[in-house]
C-alpha cells in the first residue's frame, strides 16, 4: 500500500469473476489483494487494511453479508468502504445489504466499467489524493493530478516522498499519524525503512512548506506522531 497506489481487496469465490476484477483493478493502477472466502478476507484485512473492499455476497462458508457486518462492527475496520456484489436484485435484499453497512451495492451481472467507477467514487471519499483530486488546507493547495503544491498561491518544491506525506496529511487534516502508519502509507509495507526516516522527511516537508513564509502547519504529537493542523 502506498499513497500513489490505492489498494483494493477483492473477495470473490468464482475464479473467472475474481480474475476479471483483479485484471481491471490492476489496469487502473490499484494494488490488489484477493480472497476466496470470508475468513481469508478477514485475515487479510487484519494484516493490511485495504482502501476499498469489493465483497461478493454469496461465498462458501461465512457469507459476504456476515463479513460486512463484522467489518462494520469493528472500530478499526468500520471506515473501509465496502462494495457488495450480488446476484440478488430484489428490493428487500438490497435494503438488507445496506443495513449491514455496505457503502455501495452492485448487482450481478455488472459492467466492469461501472464497478470501476464505483470504486473510484469510494476512493474519492476516503483517499481523494489517490484518484487525482485537488486538496486544500488553509492556504496550502495540492493538485494530485499535476503534483503541484502551492502555499498562498506561490509554488512549493517538494520531493516525491514529501509530496506523498503531504497528500496523506491533507486527506485527513487533524488526524494524528504514527510513524508506523506513515511508513505503511507513504513508503509501503513491503519496504524496510527505519521510523527515523519518517522524521527526516517530515523535517524536509516542514522546510518546504515554510520556504515561502507562513507558519509550520505540521504538529508533532509527543509519543504519538504527526498531524496537519
Site residues (vs Ca ion, CB under 5 A): 13, 56, 58
Which is closer to Ca ion, CB of 63 or CB of 121?
A: 63
Which is closer to Ca ion, CB of 56 or CB of 104?
A: 56
Residue closest to Ca ion, measured at CB: 58
Residue 170 three-state SS: helix
Q: What is the rounded CA–CA span in Å between residue 1 and residue 149?
A: 23
Q: How far is the CB of 58 from Ca ion (least distance, A)?
A: 4
Q: How far is the CB of 189 from Ca ion (least distance, A)?
A: 28
Of residues 198, 214, 218, the one with CA closest to residue 150: 214
Which is closer to Ca ion, CB of 13 or CB of 143?
A: 13
Q: Find the length of the chain.
A: 229
Q: How far is the CB of 30 from Ca ion (least distance, A)?
A: 21
Q: How far is the CB of 34 from Ca ion (least distance, A)?
A: 13
Which is closer to Ca ion, CB of 13 or CB of 93?
A: 13
How many C-beta neighbours within 10 Å does residue 49 have? 16
- Residue 156 pairs in a beta bridge with 149
**Strand 82-86 relative to strand 52-56, pairing:** parallel
Amino acid at each position: 500500500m502506498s499513497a500513489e497506489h490505492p489498494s483494493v481487496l477483492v473477495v470473490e469465490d468464482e475464479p473467472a469473476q475474481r480474475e476479471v476484477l483483479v485484471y481491471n483493478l490492476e489496469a487502473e493502477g490499484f494494488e490488489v489483494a484477493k480472497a476466496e472466502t470470508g475468513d481469508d478476507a478477514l485475515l487479510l484485512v487484519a494484516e493490511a487494511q485495504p482502501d476499498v473492499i469489493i465483497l461478493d455476497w454469496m461465498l462458501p462458508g461465512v457469507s459476504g453479508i456476515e463479513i460486512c457486518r463484522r467489518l462494520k462492527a469493528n472500530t478499526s475496520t468500520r471506515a473501509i468502504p465496502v462494495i457488495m456484489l450480488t446476484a440478488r436484485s430484489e428490493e428487500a435484499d438490497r435494503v438488507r445489504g445496506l443495513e449491514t453497512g455496505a457503502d455501495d451495492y452492485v448487482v450481478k451481472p455488472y459492467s466492469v466499467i461501472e464497478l470501476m467507477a464505483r470504486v473510484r467514487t469510494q476512493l474519492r471519499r476516503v483517499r481523494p489524493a489517490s484518484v487525482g483530486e485537488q486538496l486544500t488546507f488553509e492556504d496550502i493547495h495540492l493538485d494530485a493530478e499535476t503534483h503541484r503544491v502551492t502555499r498562498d498561491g506561490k509554488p512549493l518544491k517538494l520531493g516525491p516522498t514529501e509530496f506523498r506525506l503531504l497528500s496523506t496529511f491533507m486527506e485527513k487534516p487533524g488526524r494524528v499519524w504514527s510513524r508506523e502508519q506513515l511508513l505503511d502509507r507513504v513508503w509501503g509495507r513491503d519496504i524496510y525503512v527505519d521510523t527515523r526516516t519518517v522524521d527526516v522527511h517530515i523535517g524536509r516537508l516542514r522546510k518546504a512548506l515554510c520556504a515561502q513564509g507562513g507558519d509550520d502547519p505540521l504538529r508533532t504529537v509527543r509519543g504519538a506522531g504527526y498531524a496537519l493542523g
